[in-house]
Amino acid sequence: MVEIRRVNFLAARFVAGNTAEEALDAVHRLNEVGLKASLDVLGEETRSLEQAQAAVREYSQLLGWIGASGLDCNVSVKLTQLGLSLGDGPARDNLLKILDAAAKHGNFVRIDMEGSAYTQRTLDLFHGVFESRKNVGVVIQAYLRRSASDVKELNRAGARVRLCKGAYKEPPSVAFQEKEEVNRSYDALALELLERGNYPGFATHDDARIEAILAAAAGRGIPNDRFEFQMLYGVRKPRWTDLKSRGFNVRIYVPYGTHWLPYYYRRIRERKENLIFALRSVLGR
């Protein structure tokens, strides 16, 4: 039990709490200083329809609370949490239920991208529901070699895309392995989204990537309200407020729940600074 509490304490930097109430409080605090939010109920690789249906109920209730509170906040979902491992049909049905719940409150749902084994299925499912539900967007990972063609297809469809670098371990045949390659891909995809996308979200904490986006937007006369920056809860807070103070839209990805371990592990893998922070927290330094 001591070890579980210790890890939970470390994860608290990146996770808003165990309950929806804690997460909504975090969103309220973000909104108070002009920051938008996206709530994520932690969980993935659901193995039963009952678990998937429980996730649908949680998201539907969450969307109701967001609407009643007047918060500037949408939600993010993982398709494996909605039953994708059980088949495309259950995941699609459950996603549609969440999209309909969001539509009742004028809200928006982002489909998170998971490991490359799910990329094509995720995009196929997204395009299928996007034909009739426009309150849904998707994530593209810049380190995947296929992403350039995926972004072009999504832009043609008028989809809202969140661009991130990618946090899953992938083989060289699927993903760029060198940091410089990933950065070049990110910059090229960001430019494509700036020029032809529908209100893209640029998910990055990399100052060079941020400045490249700002320079490209300024050079092309693209106004600040045509895109937004997205950052993770608990990571680089001064950068959030800096961009907000300069007139840019900033959305914070706010996860909550008890199934935090896979998410926490990916945050540690992404940046060694996150591990250093966590260790200092334990040592009291």
- Indicate which residues carry an active-site annotation: 112, 162
- Do the Cβ atoms of 225 and 183 come closer than 8 Å? no
Cα 230 from Cα 11, distance rounded (Å): 20
- Single out the residue of 194, 55, 68, 182 nearest to residue 112, CA to CA: 55
Cα 225 from Cα 93, distance rounded (Å): 33
Q: Report residue 219 as tokens.
A: 């050079």
- Do the Cβ atoms of 76 and 263 come closer than 8 Å? no
HEC states along the chain? CHHHHHHHHHHCCCCCCCCHHHHHHHHHHHHHCCCEEEEEECCCCCCCHHHHHHHHHHHHHHHHHHHHHCCCEEEEECCCCCCHHHCHHHHHHHHHHHHHHHHHCCCCEEECCCCHHHHHHHHHHHHHHHCCCCCEEEEEECCECCHHHHHHHHHHHCCCEEEECCCCCCCCCCECCCHHHHHHHHHHHHHHHHHHCCCCEEECCCHHHHHHHHHHHHHCCCCHHHCEEEEECCCCHHHHHHHHHCCCEEEEEEEECCCCHHHHHHHHHHCHHHHHHHHHHHHCC
